[in-house]
Amino acid sequence: MKNHRFRRGIAVLAWSACLGLVRPGAASAQTNPAMTTLPLGDMSGFRPVADNWRTVGGVSADLNQKEAVKTSPGKGILVNVPGEKKKDNLTTTFEHGDLELELDFMMAKGSNSGVYLQGRYEIQLFDSWGVKSAGVHDLGAIYERWDDSKPEGQKGYEGHAPRVNVARAPGLWQHYRISFQAPRFNAQGQKIQNARILEIALNGVTLHENVELTGPTRGPMAPNEVAMGPLYFQGDHGPVAFRNIRYRNYDKAPVELANLRYGYYGKFDREPDFATLKADASGTSPDLTWEVSKTPNDFVLRYTGTMKIKEPGQYTFQLLSAGNGMLKVADKTLVGYNQRDRQGSVTLQPGDQPIEIVYAKAESWQNPALGVFVEGPGIRRQPLHTMSSVPLRNPVDPIMLKANEIQPSLLRSFVDFQREGDQKSKRIVHAISVGDAQDVHYTMDLDNGALVQVWKGGFLDTTPMWHDRGDGSSRPLGSVVLLNDAPALTVLGNNTAAWPDTLATEAAYRLRGYDIDESGHPVFKYTVYGAEVEDRLMPEENGKFLTRHVRISGANVPNLYYRVAEGKDVVALSDGTYGVNGNQYYVRVADAGSAKPIVRTVNNRQELLVAISGTAQGANLRYSIIW
């Protein structure tokens, strides 16, 4: 056999990767089995119901008019438009136990709905846009249980409000990710463990973790609890639409380890040839753990055993080791020595399958750790090791920067930005982030005047910047809408010329710093193509949206354009409002001077542009970003 020397650096990477401490791309992310998509070509995936529920090809909800929804024929979107007589709830034909669920949804203004897991536990849907202190009735809440025998004001109990309100505006698509653990029952049908919400994330922000559900919430399809039940959508409280409903149903028996034997060997700096070696100590173990080792350092530990596989299909394994190691399943090496990618997949058949795990610990500066995770068909990711075998490293207290309550907070840092469709992120090195007490924040690229991202919720996680040596970067804490890192202003040679990613040399871009206005907001100043630009952004309507004021003066530049928005589509709605990138956000142009905003298509994407004319006398542009 090839007797390769162990690479010492792999110990750092292997253990850091499993804790999420390495930069993206250094170690591959955990892979999950593909999710099942609930077909929305027709209503065949649901039990018979009144026609307040139907599938359509397009849907929109008015930003300002209560419960106003328009649809267009087609398929792929599930919509509910209840009436006085037709307002049924909707039940799926499939049932689930443990579940991972993802879906997109759109709320009409003032609307209310909910998704019941197993038809019993409601995750609230509500138009909570602009609500400052979200409660148990708002979007993102786990709805309350109900007891009519209690006094008024005490009937509702055990509801769980979201940690933060990240609800978006009516008519915009939003995203739920829900991880659910079903209640457990013994052979006699008695409940022995309550249901549990493992995680709920809304629009990319975690709202709940590890919440126990002692019983059904108010308005379930049935009052009893079950091991398997359907999804149940509330249909009697207002218009709502869904798309991209996907799930993983974890309803199969977990993997079990058996017949574990271990061999303990001394220090090795190369791959051991176990066929020619005798263990210093050996024995059987009921569990997979490094703790059978005699010492915490300078050893090699080898486990062999069998896994009891009950379901055929592809299984994905991840090896966690504070040091080097190897994982072999069914005689196939999934993780090799010195391998940076610490996971692998294999197709297994039912029955006993052999497993071999080798752990080589030579790095004395870190505590020992050994673990294996597995995920398979109908089987949620599970540990095969004991909890004590993978201890938590000393946690780092996060360094969170809150927005100043008196005037906006400003922070210069690196910001990582990844455009839609790009495989890698780009580091913006001259970024400034501005946080407002109304919980509306944004990042500007000072190298070109681009508005990179906007978000609501917390301001910044500065741990990467200020912990230990740091890397100079900060991260948004809330629900982020990514915009663009391309320059806001440029000269176009003709109507079909592509918008540049960077400014040309002749643009002569120069940042002139920023002033602080009377309200404490920065006014950014720069020169481009000889024109002088002043750029200011402020929250409006109690933080519902962000309004941008741009003044351009000093030179009359031919063919100078300002790009207000860009995406796969830009759709004119009403009153100067446009839906952008599949209704990810809105822009509303309030003032473009004498110019009329134009929508153009270039390279299969659309842009909303304003021609900047008469800049010698001064041009003003004012528009709002609404989400």
Predicted pLDDT at 2: 53
- The pLDDT of 420-429, averaged and rounded, is 89
Cβ 326 vs Cβ 281: under 8 Å: no
- Which one of 3.90.480.10, 2.40.50.140, 2.60.120.560, 1.10.10.10 gives the CATH number of domain 36-250? 2.60.120.560
- The pLDDT of 499-527, averaged and rounded, is 95
Write out pLDDT tens, residues 241-259: 999 999 999 989 899 999 9
Alpha carbon 236 to chain centroid, angstroms: 30
Distance of alpha carbon 1 from alpha carbon 23, whole angstroms: 34
Distance of alpha carbon 510 from alpha carbon 601, whole angstroms: 30
pLDDT at 25 over 50: no
For residue 623, give the nearest of 432, 464, 483, 439 by alpha carbon. Answer: 483
Predicted pLDDT at 371: 96
pLDDT at 26 over 70: no
- The pLDDT of 115-139, averaged and rounded, is 97
Predicted pLDDT at 169: 98
Share of the chain above pLDDT 70, in %: 94
Please give the structure tokens belonging to residue 206.
Answer: 């975690």
What are the backbone angles phi and psi of residue 507, rounded to the nearest 5°?
A: -65, -25
Residue with structure tokens 């599938």? 55
Buried b (16+ CB within 10 A) or exposed e, 302-331: bbbbebebebeeebbbbbbbbbbbbbbbee
Predicted pLDDT at 555: 75
Predicted pLDDT at 275: 87
Amino acid at 278: K
- Which one of 2.70.98, 3.30.160, 2.60.40, 1.10.10 gives the CATH number of domain 400-626? 2.70.98
Distance of alpha carbon 456 from alpha carbon 481, whole angstroms: 9
Could you tell me whether strands 440-445 and 450-456 are parallel, antiparallel, or unpaired per DSSP bridges? antiparallel
Predicted pLDDT at 60: 95
Distance of alpha carbon 383 from alpha carbon 375, whole angstroms: 9
pLDDT at 606 over 70: yes
Same CATH topology for 36-250 and 253-389: the answer is: yes
Mean pLDDT (the chain) is 91
Please give the structure tokens belonging to residue 397.
Answer: 């207290």
Predicted pLDDT at 575: 83
Predicted pLDDT at 33: 66
Predicted pLDDT at 593: 83
For the chain, which residues make up each domain, given as ranges?
A: 36-250, 253-389, 400-626
Predicted pLDDT at 31: 53
Distance of alpha carbon 435 from alpha carbon 478, whole angstroms: 11
Share of the chain above pLDDT 90, in %: 80
Distance of alpha carbon 141 from alpha carbon 145, whole angstroms: 12
Predicted pLDDT at 562: 95
- The answer regarding whether domain 253-389 maps to CATH 3.40.50.880 reads no
For residue 460, give the nearest of 482, 480, 435, 481 by alpha carbon. Answer: 435
For residue 330, give the nearest of 300, 309, 360 by alpha carbon. Answer: 309
Distance of alpha carbon 109 from alpha carbon 65, whole angstroms: 6
Write out pLDDT tens, residues 2-12: 555 555 544 44
For residue 101, give the nearest of 255, 313, 250, 312 by alpha carbon. Answer: 250
pLDDT at 165 over 60: yes
CA distances from 339 to 318, 344, 367, 383 (A): 12, 11, 20, 21
Cβ 176 vs Cβ 202: under 8 Å: yes
Write out pLDDT tens, residues 297-319: 899 999 999 999 999 999 999 99
Amino acid at 436: D
For residue 562, give the nearest of 485, 482, 484, 491 by alpha carbon. Answer: 491
pLDDT category of residue 423 using cuts at 50, 70 and 90 = confident
Cβ 368 vs Cβ 322: under 8 Å: yes
495: left (phi over 0), alpha (psi -120 to 50) or beta: alpha
Weakest-pLDDT range from 210-224, 313-327, 360-374:
360-374
pLDDT at 77 over 90: yes
pLDDT category of residue 505 using cuts at 50, 70 and 90 = very high
